[in-house]
Structure 1
């Protein structure tokens, strides 16, 4: 009891976590924290350049929105990155391993990013969109892989002087700086120089971070024999049974990814005389449900079957498995990454896992579907200048997002988890109606803005009515998505098991973007065919699916709380 009191007192004496400029000063004091700032910047810059700013370039050279939508599928690299995370964790890179087990992967990814951005700069998307897409995909793959290695590095190097919570805050600080550089600054630069030069300069920034990587500390690779010892205990599935489960899930994932890649290649390949590209809408309607089934339903069914086999004592170990090999260790990594987290979730939630997965898949749908088209919408359809969009979207908009995240945290404390999550599901739907109004002349935005005095307030800072409309729309959208994001991160953090915290969170957060990313292809085609306002209303209607899943999850949580013992429910 005494030790607990001392621990509590010590925790109470900890200074509050620094923020803003003070956080930057703390970040530059030590080698680890300064490195974390650089890694955060290196992670955030490619994401901003590839999934936002790149579409401004494509819109400027008159690439049709259907093609932009298909190209935005490179963002699935971030959704699927947990698939190869075991490889990043396990594989020693020949020639680079001497740098460190995490540094070697981070440096390799940064080199590929520099080459990818240089390739984009050297390619004219209007003349060679297929080659352009290949470089974009290469960069997105390197960026997603770098995120895996950086996340592992952050956890590995944390210590008493630089705890993981501080490193995580510094990482987010660097990431946000990169969002401004890759978004606002890149747009401002593009208004004064060519897009290829902008991307070359951004590649140069990644090149500078390579120097930070070379000087970064790292941790030794652990003994491989200690990995996943729990899988070798009696009662666990035999290696052969786990291998069959992995084969089924791996084949399912490979088919889904291969199907998407093949269609992207067809869509982005040059056309012959009289030929036309296949319909993105037809592909999404025909293969979209199958892709979701292959990446979600099949792994869930396999997880349920493995749980049943363990309960029934079929194909399980009867004695400790002492055999060791590189292939066995790699298979264990894959099993822990792809099947064990879902198996635990299915065992814990039962049929309720269908509600949870449904909610995860659809929660961000109505704003993820069209997010890749924001710059073409602002620049090419509404004809705002690059400087105006840079300020409104990437400077002013970031502050509105931070305000939304703060408000989401406050609502979470005041109202509770499920009410805040429901608010976060409803508000982005309304945000889509705001954007539909903006696309049609902003009659209602003007009326509401004038009625509550926001037009007068913004005018005091020198903004004209046209700019005020954009700022008001972005304000509502970013505050709404900030609330939704804060609520959903807190929800995911609460639903994961402590046994599989990192892997389970990575898997479920990746699934969050799956349907939205797939939907961008059909959204791009729909924007071309029906116009922005109509599609905004459709995506708002799609958000109703998320609302229904949130309500179902609220009922499930309430029932679960009611049947649990009082002490367990309180915990």
Structure 2
């Protein structure tokens, strides 16, 4: 198994207390805000207006840009924008993506999915496109400003900010929908996205080191550096196919069940306020605790143990939803199931983000992380698009038990990777030893 250095709890906690982590916290918020607008918030909106579960499941396909972002990540990774690029290569791309999100989120609130579902879907796809592009920049920024020993804490901080953003787009939207019309709700979310864009203008551009900075002599040279070498670098590592399969299946069971969570709650008769209070608010708090705990466990015990514990717990806790299905409309058991599931999911997510960050060669940070996260997104989009069909043809007890079984392949692949890399999980090449830092 992996051999990784253990540190004391205070040393593990101290990595959270830096200026870099605060910046990452806000960027995590910006990343989490638009995600639910193409996932659970969208499914809640559709289920409340009476759309059938099979159609709601198919709507997960609007998140396809998350699965394809590696295709345009080389452009974002290596091309400096004209004019606005003066504020910094990473910052200019981030600001452009966030400006796009502000406009599209505002417009999405002006649609009616019962009258014109195609237009709603188009705008949701655009939200996913700008959100996925924003994630490319944010992930690269995080990896470049943190040392290797800070990546675990950075993953935890990212999860905290990410979940706070999802809290607004989830609990906030669900609760507000009982009292406020949808156009106003989306306008509020657009304002939040605009504040994130303003914050971007004031953060420092990371100074990259240990990477190639010479100007390309030709278009062919640029294309090789931007679009060929990042993938060739990763494919040159031992067991790269196994690594991609692990990324795909590690959280697949959770993603498959998550696509049907809101229709499940609605069908059990819970109100929007109840769902917001327990699932979107209390549940997110549990996820935040899990994310911070996951970062600490990574720093204290290493990646393999944290990934194993998180993977097992997120599979087992899905069975609590099977029990909730038998209990029916029971707020206590809804709280128990969501708390346990989100706590486990937070630990697993923090460990997975730390793992993906450690895989990246800093010469190709944005492109390689986009590749990894694209594979991870396949689970919650394309592979989960049939979840509505299963929910329509199975009872809820069986459906949630099935999501537990779906977690087994990811755990088996984890042991395979640990066997391939007994000295450490990240499989990082020697050329990735450098890291970028913030200017002093």
TM-score band, normalised by the shorter chain? 0.7 to 0.9
CA distance in 2, matches of 1:100, 1:556: 39
Q: Is the 8 A contact 2:152 2:298 kept in 1?
A: no
Matches for 1:165-564 after TM superposition, within 5 Å: 173-218=160-205, 226-227=213-214, 324-343=217-236, 345=237, 349=238, 352-378=239-265, 380-405=266-291, 408=294, 418=304, 420-441=306-327, 466-492=330-356, 503-557=367-421
Answer with 465-474 or 481-490: which moved more.
481-490
| CA deviation map 1:174-200 (0-9, x unaligned) | 433322211212222111111222112
Q: Post-superposition shift, 1:98? A: 4.3
Give the direction of change, closer, same or farther, for the CA distance of 1:177–1:475 in structure 2 (3 Å limit).
closer
Any idea what the Cα deviations from partners look like across 1:318-337, whole Å, max 9, x if unmatched?
Answer: xxxxx811343134201123
Question: Structure 1 pair 500/86, CA: closer, same or farther in 2 (3 Å)?
Answer: closer
Alignment match, 1:273:
none
Q: 1:77–1:428: structure 2 CA closer, same or farther, 3 Å change rule?
A: same
Correspondent of 1:109 among 97, 103, 106: 97
Residue pair 1:341, 1:500 contacting (<8 A) in 2 also:
no
Q: Do the aligned residues in 1 keep the contact of 2:160 with 2:292 (CA within 8 Å)? A: no
Q: 1:226 to 1:64 in 2, by over 3 A?
A: same
Deviations 1:181-233 (A, max 9, x none): 112122221111112221122112222333334455547999x9945x9xxxx
Q: Distance in 2 between matches of 1:541 and 1:373?
A: 16
Alpha-carbon deviations, 1:410-452, whole Å to 9, x = none? Answer: 766787654553443333332222212212226xxxxxxxxxx
TM-score, with structure 1 as normaliser:
0.63
| Farther off after superposition, 132-141 or 389-398 | 389-398
Conserved in 1, the CA contact under 8 Å of 2:279 and 2:338? yes
Q: How far does residue 67 in structure 1 lie from its aligned partner after superposition?
A: 2.1
Alpha carbons 2:177, 2:272 under 8 Å: kept: yes
Give the TM-score of the pair, scaled to structure 2.
0.79
Q: Give the 3-state SS of the residue equivalent to 2:384 in structure 1.
A: helix
Change (3 A) 1:170 1:476: closer
CA distance in 2, matches of 1:166, 1:78: 24
CA shift for structure 1 position 82: 2.6
Helix, strand or coil at the partner of 1:324: coil
Hey, what's the Cα distance between the residues in 2 that align with 1:105 and 1:425? 34
CA deviations over 1:90-149 (Å, ceiling 9, x no partner): 334355334543333223212221221122111110111111010001011011111222
- What secondary structure is seen at the aligned counterpart in 1 of 2:105? helix
Pick closer, same or farther for the CA change 1:220–1:96 going to 2, 3 Å.
farther
| Shift in CA distance, 214/381, structure 1 to aligned 2, threshold 3 Å | same
Instruction: Give the drift of 1:76.
Output: 3.3
Indicate how the Cα distance of structure 1 residues 218 and 63 shifts in structure 2: closer, same or farther if over 3 A, else same: same
8 Å contact from structure 2 (residues 153, 299) kept in 1: no
- After superposition, give the CA deviation of every residue in 1:267-295 in whole Å (9 maximum; x if it has no partner): xxxxxxxxxxxxxxxxxxxxxxxxxxxxx
Distance 2:316 2:26 in 1: 37
Q: Quick one: distance in 2 between partners of 1:493 and 1:220?
A: 18
- Higher normalized contact order (CA 8 Å, seq sep 6+, divided by chain length): 2
Question: Is this contact kept in 2: 1:40–1:175, CA < 8 A?
Answer: yes
1:83 correspondence with 2:81: no
- Change in Cα spacing, 1:211 to 1:547, as seen in structure 2 (3 Å) is closer
* 8 Å Cα contact 1:52-1:372 kept in structure 2: yes
**Cα distance change, pair 361–552 in 1 and its aligned pair in 2 (3 A):** same
Task: Check 1:356–1:61 CA distance in 2 against 1; reply closer, same or farther (3 A cut).
Answer: same
- Give the aligned partner of residue 137 of structure 2: 149
Structure 2 distance, partners of 1:549, 1:15, is: 30
The Cα of 1:381 is off from its aligned counterpart by 0.9
Structure 1 stretch 362-371 or stretch 325-334: which is displaced more? 325-334
* Inter-CA distance 123–391: structure 2 relative to 1 (3 Å threshold): same
Q: Single out whichever of 505-514 and 53-62 deviates more from structure 2.
A: 505-514
Deviation at 1:508, TM superposition (A): 2.8
Structure 2 distance, partners of 1:494, 1:103, is 22
Q: Structure 1's 211 and 361: CA in aligned 2 closer, same or farther, altered over 3 A? A: closer
Distance 1:467 1:219 in 2: 47
When residues 536 and 497 of structure 1 are mapped into structure 2, their CA distance, relative to the original with a 3 A threshold, is same
Inter-partner Cα distance in structure 2 for 1:435 and 1:542: 15
**Cα deviations across residues 50-78 of structure 1 (Å, max 9, x unaligned)?**
32222211111112222222221233323
Report Cα offsets for 1:250-278 as digits up to 9, x if no partner: xxxxxxxxxxxxxxxxxxxxxxxxxxxxx
Task: Report how far residue 534 of structure 1 moved.
Answer: 2.5
Residue 435 of structure 1 contacts residue 533 of structure 1 at CA under 8 Å; is this kept in 2? yes
8 Å CA contact 2:101, 2:193 repeated in 1: yes
SS of 1:520's equivalent in the other structure is coil
Structure 1: which 5+ residue stretches go unaligned?
Answer: 1-11, 28-32, 230-322, 443-464, 562-571
Distance 1:357 1:119, change over 3 A: same
